[in-house]
Amino acid sequence: MRIDTSRSWISKTLESSYNTPEATGSNYSEIPTQEPYFVLPKLEKTSDADRVGQDAPTHLCNTYWSHGEIGLRDDAETDVPARLFRRALGGSVTDTVVSAGAVWDHTFAILPRAASDFLPSFSVATLLGSASFLLAGCMIDRFKVSQKNSERVQHETDILSGGKFTNPHGLTSLPSLVDTACMDGFRTNIQYTDSDGSTTVNLTTAGKVIEWMVEHKNNIRRNKRRTGDPIQTVSSSAGAYVRSMPRGKYETSVQMVIDFVDLTEWTKSVQNAVFTNMKITVVGPIITGIYRHEFEIIIPKFGFDSPDTSDDEGDAATPINIIPFKDPTSGGTITGRIRNAQGTLV
């Protein structure tokens, strides 16, 4: 059996409470990915091999079901990857009508620490041949978006589950993979407001961008194990699983490589200049009229950290670490905006 025959689905809804999976198959979307995978739950074990006088273990004891881990990589677009981006940040979504009955904007930010230590959780169904599992208590541990030259923008997503599962998945009417919008790499637009607070710097119009990357890590705590944790039984064997997965201190990294033209970026870095409202907008096909699909990452406030020099196939280039600052409005480092033909984004 080939691994590339595997299929997986993500719930379009969030769990009403942690480890309570979505039970309706039509409330799922198939996950597009370039890297096939199948999640087989693993039961951790211990033995008596460390006892004095023992040369080898005499038996095994079950302990906990390990966290399920899923790694995705595919084009960044306005359906499943947009959901993953929103859930990685975790904040509530504001849905705004752009064109009645046809186009909506969905904006969201990082979930404030004061609101909750827990990101939204969801369910993932995974299938390989006749084997299937429904994984509960899933969260986004890492979300990365990147582009090199004018290639299609890619996302990488790491999903972590709490260890609870159902076998088989038990879902009916799971939908087929939906054709996704072709987000055109050559349409990506990157601009920000200069340190004077009024001048717009458009790196795309200037034709300077070689590559860029935005990565958000939630550093979700693993193995928060306590007496009394719930138990998952398979046949006559059992193991426990965690009842919560709080996020840790998050990290947001932004990097860019641009053509070296002059000392502008270096000088601004030396001056500790503060910039605002960087928008990295990935643009796709027309929805209706003048409106296109858009996947946008916004860095409300930031600075440049020590631009350097490098080589881009013989051309001089400038790698820049962009340091996102705390945004006084959202309280986080980045926000997101998705424009598509769906009325909601969960």
Where in the chain are the domains? 3-340
Task: Give the global pTM.
Answer: 0.96
Could you tell me if residue 235 is left (phi over 0), alpha (psi between -120 and 50 degrees) or otherwise beta?
left
Helical H segments across the chain, by residue range: 80-89, 264-270
3-state secondary structure of 271: coil
Give the Cα separation of 17 and 120 in Å (integer).
9
DSSP-assigned beta bridge partners for residue 144: 156, 215
Asked if omega into 230 is within 30° of 0 (cis), the reply is no
Give the Cα separation of 177 and 156 in Å (integer).
19
Give the Cα separation of 293 and 184 in Å (integer).
10
- Give phi and psi for 25, each to the nearest 5: -60, -35
Host H or E run for residue 191: strand 184-193
* Local confidence pLDDT in tens for the 346 residues of the chain: 999 999 999 999 999 999 999 999 999 999 999 999 999 999 999 999 889 988 899 999 999 999 999 999 999 999 999 999 999 999 999 999 999 999 999 999 999 999 999 999 999 999 999 999 999 999 999 999 999 999 999 999 999 999 999 999 999 999 999 887 789 999 999 999 999 999 999 999 999 999 999 999 999 999 999 999 999 999 989 999 999 999 999 999 999 999 999 999 999 999 999 999 999 999 999 999 999 999 999 999 999 998 999 999 999 999 999 999 999 999 999 999 999 999 999 9
Instruction: Enter the tokens of residue 147.
Output: 């582009």
If one counts every other C-beta atom within 10 angstroms of the C-beta of residue 174, the result is 19
CA 295 → CA 71, 147, 213, 276, distances in Å? 21, 13, 14, 19
